[in-house]
Amino acid sequence: MRALSKVALLRPPTSDEQIAAMRSHVRDSAVDRPGVYRMISSDGEIVYVGKSKRVRSRLLSYFRAAFPEEKGARILRDAERIEWEYVPSEFAALLTELRLIKRFRPRFNVAMKRDGRNYCFIKVTKGPAPKLVVVRGPGVDDSAIYYGPFMGALGVSEAVRELNDVLGLRDCATDLRMNFADQPELFDAFPRTPGCIRFEVKKCLGPCVGGCTTQQYDHRLTLARAFLDGTDDGPIEHLRHEMQQASDRLEYERAALLRDKLKRLEALRGQFARLRFAVETLSFVYTVPGHEGADRIYLIRRGRVRAELDRPATGADAARLLGLIDEVFTPMERNTSQIPTHEIDELLLLSSWFRRFPGELERTSAAGNIAPLAAAS
């Protein structure tokens, strides 16, 4: 028996022993404060990142998984150690968790916790003849262009379908081969009709069957993007000009067709404006009370945290805060609905936070009203 114990001491710990050691570590060291934690495998990989208002309680709950196939139990089996750090508040924990997930992409954090019920985005796909797709948020191909957020995926999908029809953009399978008219070497290699009703009824330019050149398609896409951006009436002006030209040439049938398209686009402009979420409403200075007075100030502009710092304790700190406010809020920013992909999740997190806790808005101040706060500190 004694010899066996010696062997047991020399061999690597079993999974159960490892889990028991992690549980002891949490029991002995963790306290119930807001924080973020990382589950780390034996080769150093961060396999999971989480956050909690009460780190100790949350971590101990992992060890109570009833079934081995539960996510918590699976994470523990892959982990060799748990690390955590405390942050001043639940809001800080949420932000830190998001940033760590984006940085390390842990495999058990399969998807970002998006509030997908409320918002969607319009993605412009990459590749030849890009198309518009309504999505909940960015996927792994982070280099695509996104517009939004918009409210209500169904209404947005209908509006996008209409926009595609008016501008002749495609909406078929992303991997469908395109054959532009300016690819003469391919011209005989494909059928002249795609067997697609949208081409037949002139709702798509037909980039798959040489129905347009690359340049013609790109021009229509540029119009669509300007329209989605909400900053430009380009497509409407373009159609009005075309309609006038058709009328001048006495092409009344074409002019009537263009007039109908114009009306639909004008209606769509209003529709997109109603569906667009006003990110400008998420622009303010947000003071969050922290654990044991560790209050933190977040400078939020257009739904993204642009800077953060501890609540000023001295005159010099207050001056620094005012300087930062000036840096963040003074530069003019184009009021565009195109949003950098890497900022989408933070914007969704912030909008979801203030919707779940509307009372938190009382802790916010317009950037111009912050001088008394800074001076009083």
* The Cα angle at residue 79 between residues 77 and 81, in degrees rounded to 5: 135
Q: How far from each other are the two terminal CA atoms of the chain, in whole angstroms?
A: 68
Choose, by CB under 6 A, the member of 60, 135, 144, 172 that binds ligand SF4.
172
Residue 170 sits in the site that holds ligand SF4 (CB under 6 A):
yes
Number of residues that bind ligand SF4 (CB under 6 A): 12
Smallest separation (angstroms) from ligand SF4 to the CB of 140: 24
Contact track, ligand SF4, 86-125, x by CB under 6 A: ----------------------------------------
How many angstroms separate the most distant Cα atoms in the chain?
105
Residue 308 sits in the site that holds ligand SF4 (CB under 6 A):
no
Residue 198 sits in the site that holds ligand SF4 (CB under 6 A):
yes
**Residues 285/318, Cβ–Cβ less than 8 Å:** no
- Give CA–CA dist 171/235, Å, rounded: 19
Residue 194 sits in the site that holds ligand SF4 (CB under 6 A):
yes
Choose, by CB under 6 A, the member of 106, 138, 149, 206 that binds ligand SF4.
206
- Give CA–CA dist 306/324, Å, rounded: 9
Instruction: Considering the complex, state which of residue 115 and residue 171 has its C-beta at the smaller distance from ligand SF4.
Output: 171
- Give CA–CA dist 30/290, Å, rounded: 18
Q: Which stretch binds ligand SF4 (CB under 6 A): 80-88, 199-207, 328-336, 356-364?
A: 199-207
Instruction: Considering the complex, state which of residue 206 and residue 312 has its C-beta at the smaller distance from ligand SF4.
Output: 206
Radius of gyration of the chain (CA): 28
Q: Which stretch binds ligand SF4 (CB under 6 A): 13-21, 192-200, 302-310, 333-341?
A: 192-200
**If DSSP codes are grouped into helix, strand and coil, which group holds residue 230?**
coil
DSSP 144-206: SEEEEEEE-HHHHHHHHHHHHHHHT---S-TTSPP--TT-GGGGGGS-SS-S-HHHHTTSS--
- Give CA–CA dist 94/110, Å, rounded: 17
Fill in the amino acid letter for 47: V
Instruction: Considering the complex, state which of residue 177 and residue 274 has its C-beta at the smaller distance from ligand SF4.
Output: 177
Q: Which stretch binds ligand SF4 (CB under 6 A): 18-26, 196-204, 260-268, 287-295?
A: 196-204
Q: Which stretch binds ligand SF4 (CB under 6 A): 150-158, 170-178, 260-268, 294-302?
A: 170-178
**If DSSP codes are grouped into helix, strand and coil, which group holds residue 37?**
strand
Smallest separation (angstroms) from ligand SF4 to the CB of 161: 11
Choose, by CB under 6 A, the member of 106, 207, 235, 312 that binds ligand SF4.
207
Smallest separation (angstroms) from ligand SF4 to the CB of 195: 8
- Give CA–CA dist 107/48, Å, rounded: 7
Q: Which stretch binds ligand SF4 (CB under 6 A): 10-18, 101-109, 165-173, 301-309?
A: 165-173
> Which pair of structure tokens corresponds to residue 16?
């159960």
Choose, by CB under 6 A, the member of 84, 119, 199, 286 that binds ligand SF4.
199
Residue 196 sits in the site that holds ligand SF4 (CB under 6 A):
yes
Residue 186 sits in the site that holds ligand SF4 (CB under 6 A):
no
Smallest separation (angstroms) from ligand SF4 to the CB of 200: 8
Neighbours of 10 (CB within 10 A): 6
> Which pair of structure tokens corresponds to residue 303?
């739904």
Q: Which residues lie below 8 Å from residue 230, measured CB to CB, with a gap of 6+?
A: 272, 273, 276, 335, 336, 337
Site residues (vs ligand SF4, CB under 6 A): 170-172, 176, 194, 196, 198-199, 204, 206-208
